[in-house]
Amino acid sequence: MTPNPLLPALTARARAAAHARTSGCPCGATVTLADRPDATVVRHADTVAKAHAPDLTPADLSPRLTAAARLPGLLLPPLSPTPVDLHGRLVSFWPHGTPVDPTDPDAAPWEAAATLLARLHRTPAPVPLPPMRGPAKAALALARLRTTADGTDLAAGTTAVLRAWDTLPAWARAEAPQPDTTTLCHGDLHLGQLVRHPAPDGSWLLIDVDDLGVGVPAWDLGRPAAWYACGLLPPDEWSRFLAAYRAAGGPAVPADGDPWPALDIPARALAVQTAARAITKALAEERLLDEVEQSLVDACDRMAAVPPELAHGYAK
């Protein structure tokens, strides 16, 4: 793999930011936390530097950073609400937080995640924000799939995913405005978007504001709902998440009764997006789908045969 030429410069910026914060910086090695086309993230001591996606503009990012700075009990506040330019990429700086332990599924903070979401959804946007980017990211995943999968061994799976995508309404495919234009949403909720800060014993906070905006709050419940509907998230974990969201007054679903009329479209969209990414990744790695990835593609095949208003799950 070709080394990322941005990494040395980003590492230097993270080190400088850490030294500016703390005169007694332990100066250990700088760690690369993520290195993807859409984000490169490094950590030096207690400071994190993130290079955002190449197409993200100051008009996109600055209001999102400002919102995070003004909602410190919900979102991890940036060290500065103003991003800097580094070789044509916007870079933001953050305090380090302790993430969810991926090796301990029993400790997954479903209740904390749901409560944070409910509080976020009930909080007015502190500054004018662009639309939540969830549907746009899903559409991008489908566009990438179309350009890479045609005529390959995974073409049948691609057809199932595209058919499921075509059943979604225009707003969920980012082809029309979202029906809610005022509710504050995270836009890309999963357990990797939570950290404890101050580390390691502080409260859970949401991170990653790239997709933050106003839109349909049920989208933020869409990924766990999709995993539950596909049979990949145990019912008790889904029940804990949903109950905590309702207990905290979350507006995305009714306070009681069947939540699925509100959740079905976002859950379908997130299942399709995840399946599209799975096929694209498998093609890049020249391999077949693994069991979980195949289950998502199979769920898309079943989705396409059942109108959204009739489906309450996509598992076998």
pLDDT at 140: 95
Query: Do 36 and 159 sit in the same domain of this protein?
Result: no
61 in any annotated domain = yes
Query: Do 18 and 125 sit in the same domain of this protein?
Result: no
pTM reported for the whole predicted model: 0.93
Query: Do 51 and 155 sit in the same domain of this protein?
Result: no
pLDDT at 24: 66
21 in any annotated domain = yes
Query: Do 45 and 139 sit in the same domain of this protein?
Result: no
316 in any annotated domain = no
Domain final position from 77, 95, 113: 95
pLDDT at 77: 96
pLDDT(1) > 60: no
Query: Do 18 and 149 sit in the same domain of this protein?
Result: no
Query: Do 90 and 109 sit in the same domain of this protein?
Result: no
Domain extent at residue 208: 105-310
Residues 295 and 283: their CA atoms lie apart, in Å, by 17
Q: Using DSSP bridges, classify how beta strands 47-51 and 39-44 pair: parallel, antiparallel or unpaired.
A: antiparallel
In the beta sheet, which residues pair with residue 204? Answer: 196
315 in any annotated domain = no
Domain final position from 95, 121, 138: 95
Backbone angles phi, psi at 30, to 5 degrees: -85, 130
Please give the mean pLDDT across all residues of the chain: 91
Average pLDDT over residues 67-71: 97
pLDDT at 232: 92
Query: Do 117 and 225 sit in the same domain of this protein?
Result: yes
Query: Do 142 and 41 sit in the same domain of this protein?
Result: no
CATH of the domain at 290: 3.90.1200.10
Query: Do 79 and 160 sit in the same domain of this protein?
Result: no
Q: How many domains does the chain have?
A: 2
Query: Do 87 and 191 sit in the same domain of this protein?
Result: no
Task: Give the angle 95-192-217 at the CA atoms, nearest 5°.
Answer: 100
pLDDT band for 308, please (50, 70, 90 cuts): low
Domain final position from 37, 66, 95: 95
pLDDT at 311: 46
Query: Do 258 and 289 sit in the same domain of this protein?
Result: yes
- Core vs surface per residue 219-247: b (16+ CB within 10 A) or e: bbbbbbbbbbbbebbeeebbebbbebbbe
